[in-house]
Amino acid sequence: MSYQVSFISHGKTVAMEGGKTILDAAAAAGIPLESNCGSTGKCGKCKVRVAKGYAPQDAAAGRRFFSEEESAAGWVLGCKYEIKEDLEVEVPIQMDAGSRKTKLNSLLDNIVISSPIKKVYVEMDKPSIQDQCPDYERVLRALNIDAAGQRPSRGLLRVIPKTLRDAGFKITAVLLDDQVIWVEGGDTTAEKYGFVFDIGTTTVVALLIDLNDGSIKAAAAETNPQNVFGADVISRITYAMENGEEGLAQLHDKVVECMNDLALRAAAEAKVDKNHIYEATVVGNTTMSELFAGVDPTYLAPAPFIPAYVHGIEMSGAELGFTLNPELRVHLLPNIAGYVGADTMGVILGTHIHERPEYSLAIDVGTNGEIVLAGNNRILACSTAAGPAFEGAEIKFGMRAAEGAIEEVYIDNKSGGCHVKVIGDKKPRGICGSGLLDAVAQLYDEGILNLRGVFNVEGEEAEKIHPDLRKRIIKGEQGYEFVLTTKEESAKGVPVTICQKDIRELQMAKGAIYAGMRVLMNEMGITIDQVKELLVAGAFGSYIKTDSALSIGLFPDLPNGSILSIGNAASEGGRLALVSEAERALCDELARKSEYIELSSRVDFQDEYVMALYFPAKEETGSGE
Amino acid sequence: MSYQVSFISHGKTVAMEGGKTILDAAAAAGIPLESNCGSTGKCGKCKVRVAKGYAPQDAAAGRRFFSEEESAAGWVLGCKYEIKEDLEVEVPIQMDAGSRKTKLNSLLDNIVISSPIKKVYVEMDKPSIQDQCPDYERVLRALNIDAAGQRPSRGLLRVIPKTLRDAGFKITAVLLDDQVIWVEGGDTTAEKYGFVFDIGTTTVVALLIDLNDGSIKAAAAETNPQNVFGADVISRITYAMENGEEGLAQLHDKVVECMNDLALRAAAEAKVDKNHIYEATVVGNTTMSELFAGVDPTYLAPAPFIPAYVHGIEMSGAELGFTLNPELRVHLLPNIAGYVGADTMGVILGTHIHERPEYSLAIDVGTNGEIVLAGNNRILACSTAAGPAFEGAEIKFGMRAAEGAIEEVYIDNKSGGCHVKVIGDKKPRGICGSGLLDAVAQLYDEGILNLRGVFNVEGEEAEKIHPDLRKRIIKGEQGYEFVLTTKEESAKGVPVTICQKDIRELQMAKGAIYAGMRVLMNEMGITIDQVKELLVAGAFGSYIKTDSALSIGLFPDLPNGSILSIGNAASEGGRLALVSEAERALCDELARKSEYIELSSRVDFQDEYVMALYFPAKEETGSGE
Instruction: List chain A residues with CB under 8 Å of B309.
Output: 134-137, 152, 157, 160
Instruction: Say what the pLDDT of residue B335 is.
Output: 97
Q: Which of A498-502, A520-524, B558-562 has the lowest mean pLDDT?
A: B558-562
Q: Which of A535-539, B254-258, B346-350, B525-529 has the lowest mean pLDDT?
A: A535-539
Residues with Cβ within 8 Å of residue A67, at least 6 apart in sequence: none
Share of chain B above pLDDT 70, in %: 96
- Which pLDDT band holds residue B524 (cuts at 50, 70, 90)? very high
Instruction: Measure the CA angle with vertex B365, ends B226 and B384; round to 5°.
Output: 95
Beta-carbon separation of B306 and A127 below 8 A: yes
Share of chain B above pLDDT 90, in %: 69
Q: Is residue A103 scored above 70 in pLDDT?
A: no
Residue B20 inside a domain? The answer is yes
As a whole number of angstroms, the distance between CA A128 and CA B417 comes to 54
Q: Is residue A307 scored above 50 in pLDDT?
A: yes
- Which pLDDT band holds residue A351 (cuts at 50, 70, 90)? very high
DSSP class of B337: B
Instruction: Say what the pLDDT of residue B1 is.
Output: 83
Who wins on pLDDT, A68 or A371?
A371
Residue A519 shares a structural domain with residue A376: yes
Three-class DSSP labels, A424-461: HHCCCCEECHHHHHHHHHHHHHCCCECCCCCECCCHHH
Residues with Cβ within 8 Å of residue B46, at least 6 apart in sequence: B22, B23, B26, B33, B34, B35, B77, B78, B79
Residue A294 shares a structural domain with residue A218: yes
Residues with Cβ within 8 Å of residue A109, at least 6 apart in sequence: none
Instruction: List chain B residues with CB under 8 Å of A133.
Output: 306
CATH number of the domain where residue B136 is located:
3.10.20.880
Q: Which one, of B574, B158, B174, B601, lies nearest residue B351 by Cα? A: B574
Instruction: Say what the pLDDT of residue B619 is.
Output: 59
- Which pLDDT band holds residue A99 (cuts at 50, 70, 90)? very low
Residues with Cβ within 8 Å of residue A619, at least 6 apart in sequence: none
- A126 shares contact with chain B (CB less than 8 Å): no
Residue B28 shares a structural domain with residue B88: yes
State the average pLDDT over residues B137-146.
96
Taking the CA of residue B366 and the nearest CA in chain A, the distance in Å comes to 23
As a whole number of angstroms, the distance between CA B126 and CA B128 comes to 7
Instruction: Say what the pLDDT of residue B102 is.
Output: 57
As a whole number of angstroms, the distance between CA B614 and CA B510 comes to 10
Instruction: Say what the pLDDT of residue A541 is.
Output: 66
Taking the CA of residue A150 and the nearest CA in chain B, the distance in Å comes to 9
Residue A209 shares a structural domain with residue A236: yes
With residue A268 as reference, give the H or E element that holds it. helix A233-269
Q: Is residue A43 scored above 80 in pLDDT?
A: no
Instruction: Say what the pLDDT of residue A620 is.
Output: 42
Q: pLDDT tens digit string along B597-625?
A: 999 889 999 999 999 999 998 854 444 33
Who wins on pLDDT, A270 or A29?
A270
Sheet of B277-284, strands arranged across: B216-223, B203-210, B193-199, B277-284, B329-332, B313-316
Per-residue CA distances from B176 to A193, B27, B114 (Å) = 33, 54, 11
Residue B368 shares a structural domain with residue B511: yes
Domain termination residue (choose one: B185, B220, B244): B185
Q: Which one, of A75, A40, A12, A7, lies nearest residue A445 by Cα? A: A40
Instruction: List chain A residues with CB under 8 Å of B592.
Output: 147-148
Question: In chain A, which residue's Cα lies nearest the Cα of B335?
Answer: A134
Q: At what angle do helices A500-524 and A433-445 cross, to 10 degrees?
A: 90
Virtual torsion, Cα B19, B23, B28, B30, nearest 10 deg: 170
DSSP class of B125: P
Paired sense of beta strands B87-90 and B47-52, if any: antiparallel
Per-residue CA distances from A369 to A163, A362, A386, A554 (Å) = 50, 10, 6, 11
Beta-carbon separation of A154 and B293 below 8 A: yes
CATH number of the domain where residue A258 is located:
3.30.420.480
Instruction: List chain A residues with CB under 8 Å of B295.
Output: 154, 157-158, 161
- Which pLDDT band holds residue B541 (cuts at 50, 70, 90)? low
Q: Which one, of A33, A100, A25, A18, lies nearest residue A65 by Cα? A: A100
* Among B137, B157, B311, beta carbon nearest to A152: B311
Instruction: List chain A residues with CB under 8 Å of B304.
Output: 127-129, 131-132
Per-residue CA distances from B413 to B36, B469, B498 (Å) = 16, 7, 17
ipTM, two decimals: 0.82
As a whole number of angstroms, the distance between CA B382 and CA B285 comes to 13
Q: pLDDT tens digit string along A446-456?
A: 999 999 999 99
Residue B267 inside a domain? The answer is yes
Instruction: Say what the pLDDT of residue A623 is.
Output: 42
CATH number of the domain where residue B537 is located:
3.30.420
Residue A378 shares a structural domain with residue A516: yes
Beta-carbon separation of B147 and A319 below 8 A: no
Give the mutation candidate from A164, A246, A295 for the B interface (greatest B CB count, under 10 A).
Answer: A295
Q: Is residue B393 scored above 90 in pLDDT?
A: no
3-state secondary structure of A176: strand
Question: In chain A, which residue's Cα lies nearest the Cα of B155?
Answer: A295
Virtual torsion, Cα B512, B513, B515, B516, nearest 10 deg: 110
Beta-carbon separation of A152 and B309 below 8 A: yes
- Cis amide leading into A193 (omega within 30): no
Beta-carbon separation of A147 and B592 below 8 A: yes
Residue B134 shares a structural domain with residue B205: no
Q: How far is CA A132 from the centre of its chain?
A: 56
State the average pLDDT over residues B179-189.
97
pTM for the model: 0.81
Domain termination residue (choose one: B31, B62, B95): B95
3-state secondary structure of B611: helix
Residue B204 inside a domain? The answer is yes
Q: Count CB pairs under 8 A between chains A and B.
A: 150
Residue A67 inside a domain? The answer is yes
Share of chain A above pLDDT 90, in %: 69
Instruction: Say what the pLDDT of residue A96 is.
Output: 39
Range of the domain at B143: 117-185
- B129 shares contact with chain A (CB less than 8 Å): yes
CATH number of the domain where residue B70 is located:
3.10.20.30
As a whole number of angstroms, the distance between CA B332 and CA B292 comes to 9
Residue B105 inside a domain? The answer is no
Instruction: Say what the pLDDT of residue B101 is.
Output: 47
Residue A122 shares a structural domain with residue A181: yes
Residue A572 inside a domain? The answer is yes
Q: Is residue B58 scored above 90 in pLDDT?
A: no
Residue B397 shares a structural domain with residue B364: no
Question: In chain A, which residue's Cα lies nearest the Cα of B248?
Answer: A158
Q: Is residue B29 scored above 50 in pLDDT?
A: yes
As a whole number of angstroms, the distance between CA B382 and CA B378 comes to 13
Cβ neighbours, 10 Å, residue B479 = 13
Domain count, chain B: 5
Domain termination residue (choose one: A63, A95, A127): A95
Residue A481 shares a structural domain with residue A511: no
Residue A483 inside a domain? The answer is yes
State the average pLDDT over residues B148-156.
94
Give the mutation candidate from A129, A154, A246 for the B interface (greatest B CB count, under 10 A).
Answer: A154
Q: Is residue A621 scored above 70 in pLDDT?
A: no
* Among A135, A152, A165, beta carbon nearest to B313: A152
- Which pLDDT band holds residue A63 (cuts at 50, 70, 90)? confident
Instruction: List chain A residues with CB under 8 Å of B596.
Output: 132
Residue A275 shares a structural domain with residue A170: no
Taking the CA of residue B395 and the nearest CA in chain A, the distance in Å comes to 32
Instruction: Say what the pLDDT of residue A225 is.
Output: 95
Give the mutation candidate from B130, B309, B313, B332 for the A interface (greatest A CB count, under 10 A).
Answer: B309
Instruction: List phi, psi (to 5°) of B584.
Output: -65, -45
- B337 shares contact with chain A (CB less than 8 Å): yes
Mean pLDDT of all residues belonging to chain A: 90
Taking the CA of residue B303 and the nearest CA in chain A, the distance in Å comes to 7
* Among B152, B293, B589, beta carbon nearest to A157: B293
Who wins on pLDDT, A56 or A273?
A273
Instruction: Say what the pLDDT of residue A619 is.
Output: 60
Strand stretches in B504-618, DSSP E? 533-537, 562-565, 595-596
- B338 shares contact with chain A (CB less than 8 Å): yes
Q: Which of A19-23, A98-102, B3-7 has the lowest mean pLDDT?
A: A98-102
Q: Which one, of B543, B536, B513, B544, lies nearest residue B608 by Cα? A: B513
3-state secondary structure of A382: strand
- A241 shares contact with chain B (CB less than 8 Å): no
Who wins on pLDDT, B73 or A583?
A583
Residue A487 inside a domain? The answer is yes
- Cis amide leading into B239 (omega within 30): no
State the average pLDDT over residues B236-263.
96
Q: Is residue A349 scored above 90 in pLDDT?
A: yes
Mean pLDDT of all residues belonging to chain B: 90
- A318 shares contact with chain B (CB less than 8 Å): no
Instruction: Tell me which amino acid residue A225 is.
Output: P
Virtual torsion, Cα A165, A171, A174, A179, nearest 10 deg: 70
Q: Which one, of A273, A410, A284, A279, lies nearest residue A340 by Cα? A: A284
Instruction: List phi, psi (to 5°) of A90.
Output: -115, 125
Q: Which of A259-268, B94-103, B432-441, B534-543 has the lowest mean pLDDT?
A: B94-103
State the average pLDDT over residues B220-229.
93
Residue B446 shares a structural domain with residue B465: yes
Do the beta carbons of residue B217 and residue B193 sit within 8 Å?
yes
Q: Is residue B469 scored above 60 in pLDDT?
A: yes
Do the beta carbons of residue B119 and residue B174 sit within 8 Å?
yes
Sheet of A117-123, strands arranged across: A117-123, A170-176, A179-185
